[in-house]
Chains A and B, each alone.
Chain A
Amino acid sequence: MTVWPTDGSGAGPGAGRWAPLARRTPVAKIAALALFTTAALFTRDLAALAFALAVTLLAAPLFGITPWGLLRRGLPALFAAATVVLSLTLFAADRSGTVLLHFGPFLVTTTVLYNAATLALRLLVIALPSILVFSTTDPTDLADSLIQHTRVSARFAIGALAAFRLVGLLGEEWRTIAMARRARGLDAGGNPVRWVKVFAGTAFGLLVGAIRRGTRLAVAMDARGFDSGIPRGLARPIPWRAADWLLILAGAVLAAAIQYLAHR
């Protein structure tokens, strides 16, 4: 699976499979994730959000990822959170509360810091659990589980899966087109306007190629009887176990705990 980031944490869709929660049915994982992150999304309480973040980091080993590995994977989210704190501190409109720092045009108050921290934490509490779930879920298993445990049609799930596989090829295609255009004597040469033109041209070439490839793949799938009206067989039946219910229940309990902390 080339589409997954390979970093030092050693966890990929396959690596965490021995872990008790990584092995759960994808639909159960996503249901638990939805309960947990929804509860976090509707909270502006610092303690509740800190609790949710702590739970996420502590649960990481159950998905076969160390808390440290999860933070490394979540680096873009951490960066975004830091940006939120910084920009809110500088530009927030509500500057009530105790003044902590007044330096030139910058006025930092407790309210400003509190608002910035809750916003940043909310972002992390949505991003990090999602990384846990999706980085331990194989796309094929997800499609199978969606077909078997929800009412998602095979036409949609398998079609999306096939398209997803092609997305992995786009990076290589982009490099090829960029090189082919350089061979034609086209480059930006440091001029930002020309850069935009070259970028747009490469993107257009990529789009044309992607549509052609997608069309060919669709024909190949048709040729193999995909979506031909025959009830589809299941090569990889995924059993729904008691543990899957337990995982969803755990998600619901944690969601309730977050809301309790927020409204206590």
Chain B
Amino acid sequence: MIRLSGYGWRHAGRRAWAVRGLDLRIAPGERVLLLGPSGAGKSTLLHALAGLLPADSGEAEGELRVDAEHVGIVFQDPQSQLVMSRAGDEVAFGLENLGWPADRIWPRVDEVLAQVGFGPDRSRSTSALSGGEQQRLVLAGALAARPGLLLLDEPTANLDPAGAERVRRVLRGAVPADTAVVLVEHRIAEVLDLVTRVVVLEPGGGVRADVPPELLRGPLGDDLAATGVWVPGHPAPRLHAATPPGDVLVSGHDLRVRDLALPDVAARAGEVLAITGPNGSGKSTLALALGGLLKPAAGEVRTRYGPPHRWRAPALAARIGSVFQNPEHQFVTATVRDELALGGTAPARRDELLERLRLSHLAGANPFTLSGGEARRLSVATALAARPELLILDEPTFGQDRRTWLELVDMLAGLRDSGHGVITVTHDPDVVTSLADRAVSLPCSPSDADPSVSGSSDGRSSDGGSGISGSSDGRSGISGFTGTGSFDAGSGIRPSADTGGAP
């Protein structure tokens, strides 16, 4: 059904070929996992298969043939794929484009919504859906026209673990047997049972390996792990603090932002605190409040210097470094060097950071042209420039390949060991197991949150009220949060699991 011979594509204005010398055949009903390190051209190949590379946007060579009546494609971010404002209209959109009559469209919409397990009414506003629901809706839209070929470009990367699992369940159950599937995914352990074949692209061009999934556990797997692919059986290292944490740097008390009640947390020097929980539980909001970027509607954030949202921005940057999920939101200058020099960073410090985060060769580059991993490293470097004692990161490992992931985790562990406090919001379980000294898990959704959480409870929380000086029992260990007294298990917050960090 798909036949590529010697296929190559070069984007207009680029010197290097995105993909080149590809020979590949894919038959109807095959389930192919497409692997390769960042920059190997996986996304370009998917775009080519979907017919989304207009002839005037680059240069093609070789042959590409796709004999499928319809091709469906699902990208990473549901927000930038939803077209219509009502759920049912969204699924109908593709069918309208194919000229289906109305009396055939709606039965098919209902059928495919049921297949993907979409619960809400079809008149529900798409902006009111959770990320997982949105992505299943996008999938329903792609499946509605009964595509012969379904292309999936990291469809679960933006979702929390529960939402991602539901999408995978749909992929297991709702894709017709004769539909060929090509899937790109960084985290492959969870999707190996979905595929019948693994194709590994070579960054320089061509196919490096074309094997059944079982072979990934052999030497090929070791090889791939080394080049940055996530391969099962290669667990991440465990990097936990060797010394007990120090003083409390920032703590939140009875915080409430909009209608969200947030649990009390305290971050200490020399400790990595992970904040986990499903999408919409308020993890990022909590991080913003602790980082002095959001004024809480109620409650307070305490630090040695008072509530951080009152600080002037330069003072804030010198005390708390915040790293946003999308690095580009924080880039404000035209070169990597200027980005680090912002706010009067000494040239020596700037060069040290460039060196340490392997950005020296990119010092003159525009931050907006960096790859995902490079942009992430730069955003961490900018947050570190003014030597803040606390670093707060929102999903720092999101969308990173294994090599960048390891670098990041290693770097954060190094910062922690040199006495920094680190707070990381994450839904990546590997970050929790390999890095976090303590984890706080936020409950499901605002409506599930126990209102009593915000009201102060018993004597234990007033103990934490000493705030900045550090809670008295906080030294009891790094292996779990139960001893720290930051908040109590009876207040409706699910206490975090011991993250297994016993020294």
Contact = CB atoms under 8 A, between A and B. Distances in A.
Instruction: Note whether A and B form a binding pair.
Output: yes
Interface of A: 1-2, 139-140, 158, 161-162, 165, 168-169, 176-177, 179-187, 189, 201, 205, 208-209, 213, 216-217, 219-228, 230-237
B102 A234 contact: yes
Nearest to B77: A216
B312 interface: yes
Given A140-B89, A226-B97, A235-B106, A181 B332 contact: yes
Given A140-B89, A208-B328, A209-B328, A217 B80 contact: yes
Contacts of B27: none
Given A177-B329, A216-B75, A185 B314 contact: yes
A230 B101 CA distance: 13
A180 B321 CA distance: 10
A189 B312 CA distance: 7
Interface of B: 47, 50, 52, 70-73, 75, 77, 79-86, 89, 92-102, 105-106, 109, 125-127, 141-142, 145, 288, 291, 293-294, 312-314, 316-318, 320-322, 324, 326, 328-330, 332, 342-343, 368, 382-383, 386
A232 B332 CA distance: 43
A140 B84 contact: yes
A228 B109 CA distance: 21
Contact of A220 (B83, B313, B368): B83
A221 B83 contact: yes
Of A140, A201, A217, A220, the most chain B CB neighbours within 10 A belong to A220
Contacts of A182: 293, 313, 316
A219 B316 contact: no
B332 A224 contact: no
B102 A185 contact: no
Contacts of A165: 82-85, 126-127
Contacts of B109: 235
Given A161-B84, A201-B332, A220-B80, A179 B288 contact: yes
A257 B445 CA distance: 56
A228 B142 CA distance: 16
A208 B293 contact: no
Contact of A183 (B79, B97, B141, B322): B322
A232 B99 CA distance: 5
Contact of B102 (A180, A226, A236): A236
11 contacts: A176-B329, A182-B293, A184-B330, A185-B318, A186-B342, A220-B75, A226-B97, A228-B97, A232-B99, A235-B93, A237-B102
A181 B141 contact: no
Given A209-B328, A216-B77, A187 B99 contact: no
Of A223, A233, A236, the most chain B CB neighbours within 10 A belong to A223
A216 B80 contact: yes
Contacts of A161: 83-85
A235 B85 contact: no
A186 B293 CA distance: 12
Of A208, A224, A232, the most chain B CB neighbours within 10 A belong to A224
Contacts of B72: 223-224
B99 A180 contact: no
Nearest to A178: B293
Contacts of B318: 185
Contacts of A205: 328-329, 332
Nearest to A166: B80
B163 to A, nearest CB: 19
B328 A187 contact: no
Contact of A222 (B52, B102, B317): B52
A200 to B, nearest CB: 11
Contacts of B314: 185, 187
A243 to B, nearest CB: 22
A223 B85 contact: no
Of A162, A183, A205, A227, the most chain B CB neighbours within 10 A belong to A183
B82 A235 contact: no
Contact of B96 (A180, A185, A216, A233): A233
A235 B330 contact: no
B142 to A, nearest CB: 8
Given A209-B328, A233-B99, A235-B89, A183 B52 contact: no
A218 to B, nearest CB: 9
A171 B190 CA distance: 36
Given A216-B75, A235-B92, A225 B102 contact: no
B20 to A, nearest CB: 22
A143 to B, nearest CB: 9
A183 B293 contact: yes
B99 A231 contact: yes
A217 B79 CA distance: 9
Contacts of B50: 223
List 7 tightest A-B contacts by C-beta distance, closest first.
A185-B317, A187-B313, A183-B322, A225-B97, A235-B92, A180-B329, A216-B80
A230 to B, nearest CB: 5
B160 to A, nearest CB: 19
A185 B343 contact: yes
A158 B92 CA distance: 13
Nearest to A176: B329
A219 B77 CA distance: 12
B368 A183 contact: no
Contacts of B80: 213, 216-217, 220
B27 to A, nearest CB: 22
Contact of A217 (B70, B83, B92, B101): B83
Contacts of B293: 179, 182-183
Contacts of B342: 184-186
Of B72, B85, B142, B342, the most chain A CB neighbours within 10 A belong to B85
Contacts of B47: 219
Given A183-B324, A187-B312, A208-B328, A233 B83 contact: no
Given A165-B85, A225-B98, A232-B99, A180 B324 contact: yes
B317 A184 contact: yes
A127 B382 CA distance: 48
Nearest to B75: A220
Given A201-B332, A230-B98, 10 more contacts: A139-B85, A169-B127, A182-B313, A186-B313, A187-B314, A209-B328, A217-B81, A224-B141, A235-B92, A235-B105
A184 B382 contact: yes
Of B80, B81, B291, the most chain A CB neighbours within 10 A belong to B80
B89 A1 contact: no
A236 B89 contact: yes
A140 B85 CA distance: 7
B330 A180 contact: yes
Of A161, A205, A233, the most chain B CB neighbours within 10 A belong to A233
Contacts of B98: 225, 230, 233
Of A176, A184, A201, A230, the most chain B CB neighbours within 10 A belong to A184
B349 to A, nearest CB: 14
B102 A233 contact: yes
Contacts of A140: 84-86, 89
